[in-house]
Structure 1
Amino acid sequence: MVDTFYNPVTTYFGKGSLCKLKELTENETVTLVTFPEAESLGLIEKIKLLLGDRLVHIIQNVQPNPDVIQLKEIYEYFWEKFEDCDTVLAIGGGSSIDTAKALIVGTESKKFEELLEPLVTGKKFTPTKYKKLIAVPTTAGTGSEVTPWATIWDSKEQKKYSLHLDCTWPKVAIIDPDLMLTVPRAITISTGLDALSHALESIWNVNSNPVSDIFAISAIEDILDCLPKLSQDLLNENLRSKMALAALKAGIAFSNTKTALAHSISYEMTLRYGLAHGIACSFTLPYVLGLAWGKSKSRDQIFKKMFGNSLEDAQTQLLNFLHSLDVKTEFCDYGVYADEQMEMINYAMQGARGKNFIGVSLS
């Protein structure tokens, strides 16, 4: 068996690295995609100072879990008015970056439905044109800056779609921990747990490989150590930097494996109950670890290296970690009881991400 690892994103990491934008967009026009609070935080002013008249369009109303209704309006206005724009710059959490990934993919008609239709039907889609994407995360968690996937939601139809094309890999990622200093505690925890889930999901995954394992193990060790401390000391620059690097490593890990069962369950929890993504994909981690344990000798070696030889002790470690962050870990804590819980898990196992889970493929 030959393992392959691939990640084409040029990545800049470190305090003050946002300043790289000036040289990275030389002689280019730029559209900024960001979140509503970016202006009050001074982010938009920073970008204006760095880019000057290169910044030709600003989209600053991106909401959590980008929905097809909002995306249609943003997409069609952009392609009608700013088709000649060279680069899309996404600054924010996963929702801003995912919105930008959808935005950069051009269609012949300039209509969003032409992009959405193959996601709904599963038909192959080749874009007629696309824009360069620079991704700048302001949270330490989603990993979207170093992956090609964009999650698109249809709340009306209770559906979730994953956009994934060669062109939706960001060209450049800039991870500047300074941008994360103002993130509130709840979002710091939620996004940090998303990163933990990415790392664990890349290990109990049929697509795991030795390189993704290295990134994942390092990310898990750092998150378990750092996130509880950071949740109590939000302005600590060293902890912010450590958490940003851990999230980056987790993103690089699952950029090659995709996610698995915990994420597949999370989509239903978000659609049905509105649970924040980072909590939805992490509260089941101790449970999913129990399903993964014993299914693969090589995976068990990693689990035991991180958590010790006992499954019960390993699950207790994860439970205690989550509880220390005020995260509830039972389905019933979120209004999901026994029958619906099993229905949801069985449904998740049949999903595209669920089928990546070693407990499904080897059962």
Structure 2
Amino acid sequence: MTARYHNPVDTRFGWGSLDQLADITEQQTVALVTFPEARGLGLVDRLQALLGERLVYVIEDVQPNPDVAQLRATYEGFWQQAGSCDTVIAVGGGSAIDTAKALIVGTESGRFDELLALLASGKPFVPPRCKQLIAAPTTAGTGSEVTPWATIWDSASQKKYSLHLECTWPTVAIIDPQLMLTVPGGVTVSTGLDALSHALESIWNINANPLSDTFAVSAIEDILECLPLLRRDLASQELRSRMALAALKAGMAFSNTKTALAHSISYEMTLRYGLPHGIACSFTLPLVLGLAWGHDEARDKTLQRVFGNDLQIAQTRLREFLHSLDVKTEFADYGVNASDAQQMVEFAMQGARGKNFIGSRAA
């Protein structure tokens, strides 16, 4: 069988690579999407200096898990006030990049509810207009800078929407580990575990192939070694760079496979129990490893390249790794009883991401 790998993102990696933004956006007008603390960190002023008069609009109130309640006004304000700009640059974590992906998809009316209705239909669509996107992550974990997917939440209705169009692939990704130096320990761990989940989810996946596996295995090995070291030495440029590269490799892996069961479970844990995404998608990894093992010989061989041939030892290693980062690994630890947990796993198996899981075929 022929393996196919496709990723159209012009990817720039390296310390200080954000400075390339001036050349990348030459003769373009730019809108910035970033997080509330960015100005206090001097990031907005730095981007203003790099872009000069090209920077025509700034959104700096992005919140975690972009929710329709806030996105509506942000979206409509963007298209009313900056609809003529050429490019949107997202500088921040996954929430900033996901917000920017929603903003660049223009509807005929300029109204957000029109976009929401298209997403709710679940049918493919081609937007009448779309902006270019440049993504510069400030955390080592999201992977969103090299994928077309964005998650939009509706907490009031207990729903989430997945946005993915040809135009939501970023045109350029700038992975500058220097931007990650100020990320606190808790966020460093949570986002690093999101990256670990991306890499593992791309292996126990019906869409996996030897090319995506190459990125995934390398990312897993790097994260297992690097993340505990980085947690103890947050100012290390070397470790920040290693984690940034590992997260990028994980993004490159799941950009072609999508995520699977652990992420499908995570959506319920975030909506119903308020668990941060990186923890919600990683605390079940030892459990899902056990559910994946033995369903596909090729997938087993790839997992065994990392964990060895003994499932129990592999699960113990993964569980102890998470515990060393103060992440609890049982549903009960998060207030979910055994019956509800079983129902949640079964429900997640039927979700779009759950169906990517190799074990779902036997469920």
Q: Normalization by structure 1: what TM-score? A: 0.99
Measured in 2, the distance between the counterparts of 1:88 and 1:82 equals: 10
2:89 is paired with a residue whose SS is strand
- Structure 2 partner of 1:206: 206
| Segments ≥4 residues shifted beyond 6 Å | none
> CA RMSD for the aligned pairs?
0.7
Asked if 1:85 is matched to 2:102, the reply is no
- Structure 2 partner of 1:239: 239
Measured in 2, the distance between the counterparts of 1:234 and 1:46 equals: 22
Query: Residues 118-157 of structure 1 correspond to what in structure 2 (within 5 A)?
Result: 118-157=118-157
Measured in 2, the distance between the counterparts of 1:208 and 1:3 equals: 9
Measured in 2, the distance between the counterparts of 1:143 and 1:19 equals: 21
Measured in 2, the distance between the counterparts of 1:303 and 1:133 equals: 34
Measured in 1, the distance between the counterparts of 2:305 and 2:22 equals: 44
Measured in 2, the distance between the counterparts of 1:304 and 1:109 equals: 52
- Structure 2 partner of 1:170: 170
- Unaligned stretches of 5+ residues in structure 2: none
Q: How far does residue 362 in structure 1 lie from its aligned partner after superposition?
A: 4.1
- Structure 2 partner of 1:346: 346
Q: How far does residue 180 in structure 1 lie from its aligned partner after superposition?
A: 0.2
Measured in 2, the distance between the counterparts of 1:352 and 1:123 equals: 13
For 1:324, the aligned partner's letter is: S
Q: How far does residue 123 in structure 1 lie from its aligned partner after superposition?
A: 2.8
Measured in 2, the distance between the counterparts of 1:106 and 1:161 equals: 17
Asked if 1:315 is matched to 2:319, the reply is no
- Structure 2 partner of 1:326: 326
Measured in 2, the distance between the counterparts of 1:122 and 1:286 equals: 31
2:15 is paired with a residue whose SS is coil
Measured in 2, the distance between the counterparts of 1:87 and 1:22 equals: 13
Query: Residues 163-312 of structure 1 correspond to what in structure 2 (within 5 A)?
Result: 163-312=163-312
1:27 is paired with a residue whose SS is coil
Alpha-carbon displacement from aligned partner over 1:182-240 (angstroms, at most 9, x marks no partner) = 00000000000000000000000000011100000000000000000000100000000
Measured in 1, the distance between the counterparts of 2:361 and 2:248 equals: 28
Q: How far does residue 2 in structure 1 lie from its aligned partner after superposition?
A: 2.1
For 1:111, the aligned partner's letter is: R
- Unaligned stretches of 5+ residues in structure 1: none
Measured in 2, the distance between the counterparts of 1:328 and 1:281 equals: 12
Q: How far does residue 121 in structure 1 lie from its aligned partner after superposition?
A: 1.7
For 2:167, the aligned partner's letter is: C
Measured in 2, the distance between the counterparts of 1:239 and 1:83 equals: 40
Measured in 1, the distance between the counterparts of 2:308 and 2:326 equals: 24
1:108 is paired with a residue whose SS is coil
For 1:78, the aligned partner's letter is: F
For 2:106, the aligned partner's letter is: G
Measured in 1, the distance between the counterparts of 2:169 and 2:185 equals: 29
Measured in 2, the distance between the counterparts of 1:7 and 1:228 equals: 30
Asked if 1:17 is matched to 2:23, the reply is no
For 2:114, the aligned partner's letter is: E
Q: How far does residue 66 in structure 1 lie from its aligned partner after superposition?
A: 0.1
| Identity %, equivalent residues | 69
Measured in 2, the distance between the counterparts of 1:258 and 1:338 equals: 28
Alpha-carbon displacement from aligned partner over 1:145-174 (angstroms, at most 9, x marks no partner) = 000000000001000110000000000000
2:125 is paired with a residue whose SS is coil
Measured in 2, the distance between the counterparts of 1:12 and 1:96 equals: 19
Q: How far does residue 124 in structure 1 lie from its aligned partner after superposition?
A: 2.9
Q: Between 85-94 and 296-305, report the one with greater CA deviation.
A: 296-305
Asked if 1:63 is matched to 2:66, the reply is no
For 1:54, the aligned partner's letter is: R
Measured in 2, the distance between the counterparts of 1:248 and 1:362 equals: 32
Q: How far does residue 3 in structure 1 lie from its aligned partner after superposition?
A: 1.9
Measured in 2, the distance between the counterparts of 1:22 and 1:104 equals: 20
Q: How far does residue 24 in structure 1 lie from its aligned partner after superposition?
A: 0.6
Q: Normalization by structure 2: what TM-score? A: 0.99
- Structure 2 partner of 1:76: 76
Measured in 2, the distance between the counterparts of 1:119 and 1:187 equals: 30
